[in-house]
Structure 1
C-alpha cells in the first residue's frame, strides 16, 4: 500500500510540474503559424520527419509564451523577456537539431523569427 501511494504521489507531482503545450492555451492560429515557421526553417535545415514534428511543437510552445509576453508587457521589459525567451528557445532546439543544423538555425533565426525593437524617444 505504501508503494502504491508513493508511486501515485510521484505521478501527480510530475504531471503538475511538467510543461506541456496541450495544457497551455492552444489555438488554430498559433498551430498554423508554428507549421509555417517550421517549414521555413526546414527549407534550410533539412530536418527528418521526427525532428520536424518535435521542432514544430517546440515552436508552438514558444509562440504561446511569446503571445503571453506581448500581451502582458511593454517597452524594455517586453524586449528583455522576448530576448530571454528566444535564448531559451535556441537552447532547447539543441535537443532536437544536430550541431550543424543548430549552427544554421542560429544564423537564420533572426530572419525567420525577428525580435521586436524599441523606438528611442
Structure 2
C-alpha cells in the first residue's frame, strides 16, 4: 500500500511540475527586448492570441542564452554558438508557427535579429 501511495504522489508531482515551462528570462531589459521583438514579428507574421505569449517567452529565452554566449565566448567560437542558437530557435518556432508564418519568419529573422553585427 505504501508503494502505491508513493507512486501516485510521484506521478502527481510530475504532472503538476510538467505544466510550468522552463523560462530563463531574468532581467527587465531582456523582457522589454523580447516584447519589442515580438511586436515586430507579430506585425509581420500576424500572430494570434495563443501564439503571442509563447512566442515572446521563446524569444526571451533565446535572448538570455545569446547574452550568456556573448559573455562567455569570443571570436569564431562565439559565432558558432550563436549560429547554433539561431538554428535551435528557428526549429522551435517551426513548432509554434503555421507553415506560411514560418516561411515568412525565416525570411525576416536575419534582418530583425541578426546573429552578430560587425562594427
TM surpasses 0.5: yes
> SS at the partner of 2:96?
coil
Look up the match of 2:33: 33
Look up the match of 2:57: 57
Structure 1 unpaired stretches of 5+: none
Look up the match of 2:22: 20
1:93 aligns with 2:81: no
| In structure 1, distance between residues paired with 2:96 and 2:26 | 22
Look up the match of 1:42: 42
Aligned length: 115
TM-score (norm. length: structure 2): 0.85
- Are the equivalent residues in 1 in contact too, given 2:25–2:60 (CA < 8 A)? no
RMSD after superposition: 2.4
| In structure 2, distance between residues paired with 1:91 and 1:67 | 20
Task: Label 1:6 to 1:97 Cα distance change in 2 as closer, same or farther (>3 A).
Answer: same
- Are the equivalent residues in 1 in contact too, given 2:90–2:106 (CA < 8 A)? yes
1:6 aligns with 2:7: yes
Q: CA deviation at 1:49?
A: 1.3
| In structure 2, distance between residues paired with 1:3 and 1:68 | 44
| In structure 2, distance between residues paired with 1:44 and 1:73 | 32
